[in-house]
Amino acid sequence: MSFVVFLGIHSLPGNTFVNERVRGASLALLLHEYGLDRPVLVQYWDFISHAVQGNFGVSIVNRGEPITPIVLRELSVSAELGGAALLLTIGMGVTFGVIAALRQNTWVDYSLTTFAIIGYSVPSFVIASLGVLIFGVWLFDVTGGAFYYPLTWDGTYGTVVELTVPAVALGLFTSSLVARITRASMLDVIHQDYVRTARAKGVKNRVVVVRHALRNALIPVTSVLGPLIISIITGSVVIENIFGIPGLGKEFINSILSHDYNVTVAVFTMYALLVGVANLAVDLAYTVIDPRIRY
């Protein structure tokens, strides 16, 4: 993946110094200083040989600033946002799915199902824009500033209030899908013989739902967590740019627009690594949920 991105970004027309109006010998000197006048394969080998040691090189736009500290700092910010969205995905999705299944064909079931369908149908960037409009504009005008959403991200990691709206915008889509899958899986499990046997033995309803039904119902949910985590990781690119969050997504867009080749490849390589680690974590979670599964 790093090679594909490296080749693609170096194939873009122009160069990093096009906005500086550098021409002739001065341009040649700058290209030579950063090794951009060498063949692409040679440049890539130089990049990957240092990247495996944790050194992504230096920024071209910022003239020699090391990339690794920047990427690690922005990775922690993106992890904060993604972690909050994942907690919302699992917490709200599983809770709504279980409640809807236990209250099947009631107004509670219909209400939660409708909410899940709406959340699944509306793109995250639309929810993010509506969140800014409602909490940052409408409520500010209505309450005279007593309750509003701050449109600027304070510091590197922001505040809990600033994190709430982006996390909801990013996690509402995935939580809606988890709710629908959890509901369908719970409806199948609660009618199994072992659940009816547990109820007939006088086991408390809470124990039946949590220990017997929910644990087995989570296996299909775990199967989709891999793609959902990927959706959260890729969706954070748009959300971070809407809310001005200084994470990997915002840096990724800025580096492409400024032709900062090294930063673009470093950020995308980090995204690919996150996707791989997320899928591995989901696969390992199967053995925790279902002891019958072995690798």
Domain ranges of the chain: 2-51, 68-289
Nearest to 81 by CA among 237, 226, 228: 237
Chain-centroid distance, C-alpha 119: 16
Q: How far apart are CA 124 and CA 130, in angstroms?
A: 10
pLDDT above 90 covers a percentage of the chain that reads 1
Residue 229's pLDDT is 82
Looking at domain 68-289, its CATH architecture is Orthogonal Bundle (1.10)
**Which residue ranges of the chain lie beneath pLDDT 70?**
14-24, 145, 151, 295
Residue 14's pLDDT is 66
Residue 18's pLDDT is 60
Place of tokens 């500010």: 140
Residue 37's pLDDT is 75
Q: How far apart are CA 263 and CA 29, in angstroms?
A: 21
Tally DSSP H helices, then E strands, for the chain: 13, 0
Side chain identity, residue 116? A
DSSP string, 165-207: HHHHHHHHHHHHHHHHHHHHHHHHHTTSHHHHHHHHTT--HHH
Residue 135's pLDDT is 83
CB 127 within 8 A of CB 168: yes
Q: How far apart are CA 197 and CA 182, in angstroms?
A: 22
Could you give the 3-state DSSP secondary structure of residue 116?
Answer: helix
Residue 223's pLDDT is 78
The model's pLDDT over 164-198, given as tens digits with 9 standing for 90+, comes to: 888 998 888 888 889 989 888 888 888 888 888 88
Q: How far apart are CA 192 and CA 37, in angstroms?
A: 67
